[in-house]
Structures are given as C-alpha cells and as structure tokens.
Amino acid sequence: MDVIELWNGRYACLLQSALRLTNEQFADRLGIAVRTVAAWHSDSAVVPRREMQQLLDTVHEQAPSAARQRFALLVTNERRSAVSGPAGAQALRVAIAVVIKDDAVLLVCRRDDATGITWQFPAGVIKPGAKAETATVRETLDETSVHCAVRQRLGTRLHPVTGVLCEYFLCEYLAGEATNTDTVENVDVMWIPRKAVTRFIPVDRIFPPALAVLEEQT
C-alpha cells in the first residue's frame, strides 16, 4: 500500500526518487526552497509541517502511474527494513506514551486530512542516536505540558495505519495541567477514563499490551 499517513524526510526522498527528479526539480515541483529538500536528505526523521504534508500529498496523487508504482515498491522495501533492521539502517521510530493519572489516561486529538480528527496517545519522533525513553517524556511535555516518567516499556510494533516503527511506554503522571501546546498538529488534549479509551481510539488500532495495561488498572 502506497498511502502515507504522515510524511517524513525519508518518505519525501523516496517520492523524489520515484519521480526521478533532482533536488532542484523536486523543489520546483513542490514550490519550495531547494534547502528544504536537502534538509530531508540530511535528516530522514524530520516531519514536515501540515502545509508541506499537503503539498507532498498532492504531488504523490498527481504522479504518473509508473512513478506511483516505483514509490509503492520503495516504501514497501523501507518498511521491511524497519522490521529486519539491517546494519547501518536508521528507520523512522516513534515513541508513544501511555500516561496514567489515577483512573485516567492522557489522549491528544490530532488533525487528520482524511477523517478531520483522530484521538491518539501522545507521540513523537525518536531522533537518530536519542533514547526512546527520553523522547517519550520530552514529546509528551511538548505536546501537552504534562510532566511524566517512564514506568515500563510495553513493546514495539509497526503501526497498522502508518507503517511506522512505534515504541510504547507506560508512563506515570508527575505534574502539569493538560494543555494543547501544539495547536498546529493538535485540536485538543484530554484526560479520559481508562475504561473509555476504546470510545476514542478503535480497539483494533490500540497496541494490545497497552490495552491490557489499561484494563488491568481499571
């Protein structure tokens, strides 16, 4: 499947490769600066802003059939490498925080071009060389103003929608009032009862160990 839920530097470069364009030609196609394309090549984990996500969607949708097929093949190979983990590979990794406060769990409501909004656990890209636990705590604070501490690593999987390698952590609330501090990406931040999480996130999209933890503590 060649649908990209969230573009990052690596996927953008794969699209460029599928179109067989130089940096200058790709930048011209998108209507952006060449230095932005160069930045994607130097940092595969960077996530473009919402407006850039839409530009990449448009270029992908308008690409010739042969280019779309090449892109699908490149993406498939990329996702397989995320699982096999060949030497020297720097697969995109995302840290996901399941933050518990008494009988509630922290969720963020993200903007979604396809469905309008979608509820998720706080999450953020793990930069190459960074510790997943550190990214978990930092991204939760940046998105929600909530300070938390990692209590337990729940496991890793390829996300069923995005295909991104996700690392899940059970986190304990420490301090802070839940606030939407990333208004570009998110609509709202909310504590919800743990037993109600499946009303916000479809059960088939919740990482089973995370769901098990929430049910155990209900």
Domain that holds residue 61: 9-84
Q: Sorting pLDDT into bands at 50, 70 and 90, what band is 3?
A: low
Domain membership flag for residue 212: yes
Q: Same domain for 202 and 110?
A: yes
* Highest-scoring range by mean pLDDT, 91-95, 169-173, 185-189, 199-203: 169-173
Predicted confidence (pLDDT) per residue in 59-84, tens digit: 999 999 988 988 888 888 776 655 55
Distance CA(191)–CA(99), nearest Å, equals 9
Residue 61 lies in a domain: yes
What is the C-alpha separation between 17 and 192, in angstroms, rounded? 43
1 belongs to a structural domain: no
pLDDT on residue 89: 43
| pLDDT score of 182 more than 70 | yes
pLDDT at 1: 42
- The pLDDT, as a whole number, for residue 88 is 43
Identify whether residues 71 and 99 lie together within a single domain. no
End-to-end CA distance of the chain: 37
Q: Which CATH number belongs to the domain containing residue 107 in this structure?
A: 3.90.79.10
Asked whether residue 113 falls in the same domain as residue 77, the answer is: no
Domain endpoint, select from 84, 115, 139: 84
| 56 and 103 assigned to the same domain | no
Mean confidence (pLDDT) of the chain: 85
Same domain, 113 and 57: no
At 150 the pLDDT is 94
Mean pLDDT calculated for residue range 35-53: 81
Answer yes or no: do 101 and 204 share one domain: yes
Kindly report which listed range (32-46, 59-73, 125-139, 188-202) carries the lowest average pLDDT score.
Answer: 32-46
Q: DSSP assignment of 111-161, as one string?
A: EETTTEEEEE--EEEE-TT--HHHHHHHHHHHHH--EEEEEEEEEEEE-TT
Question: Is pLDDT of 95 > 90?
Answer: yes
Please give the tally of structural domains in the chain: 2
- The burial of 184, by beta-carbon neighbours within 10 Å (0-12 exposed, 13-18 middle, 19 or more buried), is given as exposed
* Angle, vertex CA 74, rays to CA 71 and CA 79, nearest 5: 125
Residues 181 and 126 in one domain: yes
CATH of the domain at 72: 1.10.260
50 and 144 in a single domain? The answer is: no
148 and 199 together in one domain? yes
Rounded CA separation 179/61 (Å): 35
**What is the SS3 assignment for 34?**
helix
Q: Is the pTM of this model over 0.85?
A: no
Residue 49 resides in a domain: yes
pLDDT at residue 203 greater than cutoff 70? yes
**Domain assignment of residue 39, yes or no:** yes
Of 1 and 119, more confident: 119
Banded pLDDT at 87 (limits 50, 70, 90):
very low
